[in-house]
Amino acid sequence: MTTRQDGSVQALFTPRTPFGRIPLRTRIRAERADSEGAVLAVHAVRAQHAVDVRIQLAFSAAESGSRVTWCADLAVRGPAASVSQRVAREVAARVIGEVLESAAALA
């Protein structure tokens, strides 16, 4: 993982998919971040395939800390776009959830 001068993070991210593990060169950039939430732009590529995700996070107080809710817009480009959008949505939702749960466990 590398942090760039513009504050974005670059990493090789290898999610589990129904097609096996797929390594993606990934860049994550915060478009906005404050006490109420954040907006992250994620761009991932592998060969001629690309995935762009815009994740909106909302933070609210909870009994034992903070509650984080999220929604995401997903765009798949290149030959991978021909894969069923349902499969792409399911994989993206699971992967985003796993990443956020892992980040919460570290906090």
To the nearest 10°, the Cα dihedral for 20, 72, 86, 23? -20
> Which domains does the chain carry?
30-106 (3.30.530.20)
pLDDT at 85: 64
The pTM assigned to this predicted structure is 0.80
Task: Tell me the one-letter amino acid at 32.
Answer: R
Q: Tell me how far apart the alpha carbons of residues 41 and 26 are, in angstroms, rounded to a whole number.
A: 10
Please tell me the distance from the alpha carbon of residue 58 to that of residue 64, in angstroms, as a whole number.
Answer: 16
Question: What pLDDT shows up at residue 107?
Answer: 55
Per-residue pLDDT of the chain (107 residues; tens, 9 = 90+): 888 888 888 988 888 777 788 888 999 999 999 999 999 999 999 898 888 999 999 999 998 888 889 999 988 888 777 765 667 777 778 878 877 776 666 55
* C-alpha 70, offset from chain centre: 11
Residue 67, SS3 per DSSP: strand
